[in-house]
Amino acid sequence: MLKTTLRASVATVSLLAATSAFADVTVYTAGPAGLIEQLAAGFTEETGIAIEFFQATTGNIMARIEAEAANPVVDVLISASWDTATDFAERGWLAPYTSPNAATVPDFLQTDTAVAQGVAALAIAWNPTSGTPRPTEWSDLTAPEFQGLVNLPDPAQSGSAFELVAALMATSGIELFDSLAANGAIVAGANAEALNPVLQGAKAAVFGAVDYIALNNMAAGESIEVIFPESGTVIAPRPMMILNWSDNQTDAQAFIDYVLSDAGQAIVAAQNLMPARADVAADRALIADLTILPIDAEAVYGARAETLDAFAGAFAQ
């Protein structure tokens, strides 16, 4: 999944154990902020190892790591894009590690240098008070009832949105996106920018919403429903990696172990992400409940420019 450059402000948060003046492990993580706060607190309580973390979008984290190249700081990186794990492995920046707690993580969610923290999926996020019929398929959002009422995240800004666009183009061509554009759908920026007008009632649905964000809004009482089309969608695993320049390899490994422990995966599930471990339950749809569209990552990203050009052309009409 391509590194995202979402237009969002960078937030930094530090959590230091009372027994230590300096952090033992530094974690850079793409959101949600509440997830890393709870994981860091639980890990420190269990192990006594202090955590300092920097939470931002994947794009801003990449920029920070590049800026710190001469004096790297980060020990553990958690990205919202699996493409980061592939990229860093190719650069030779990652230390191999397989957690004993990863035994029930599916093979496609781990490599010798990365393992998923949790998994998101893309969905239709629909406002039931919008006066529109409940959609069940992507193509339903091209109906006249949704004229001018649909937002899409920009696949040039969101890696997960790009993968959905690429997967749907592979199965149904550009026609679906031509129909959305002809029906007045709007490419509304990054994921939050696409969702907020639906929460506010100005729009009826998001085509390709990040599920856990919408589910968290639903849990907070917002008028929103998350719908996974039976025809299929894409998933967005969140890889965890230990950087090979880290001087805190043992403590970094302990943090990975904690995130994949029963306690850590329960925290992940409470954020409405799918746990990485197949044996951990969650009060939401899991991978086994979804139809996953196939993605040939090498081919998809090799044709990224062409896919984005075709998408932009549909909405420029």
275 Cβ contact list (under 8 Å, min separation 6): 118, 119, 265, 268, 269, 281, 282
What is the sign of the dihedral through the CA atoms of 307, 310, 315 and 316? positive
212 is known to lie in a ligand binding site: yes
Q: Contact, 277 vs 105, CB < 8 A?
A: yes
Q: What are phi and psi for residue 304, nearest 5 degrees?
A: -60, -45
Give, for 233, the enclosing helix (H) or strand (E). Answer: none
* DSSP β-ladder status, 25-30 and 51-56: parallel
Q: How far apart are CA 69 and CA 74, in angstroms?
A: 10
Which residue matches tokens 């746990």? 275
Q: How far apart are CA 87 and CA 58, in angstroms?
A: 13
Strands of 87-169, DSSP E: 115-126, 150-152
Task: Pinpoint the alpha helices (H) of the chain.
Answer: 33-47, 58-67, 82-91, 159-172, 175-182, 191-199, 211-219, 249-259, 262-270, 297-302, 304-315
Query: How many other CB atoms are found less than 10 A from the CB of residue 73?
Result: 15
- At 104, list the tokens: 């029930």
Binding residue positions: 212
Residues of the binding site for Fe cation: 212
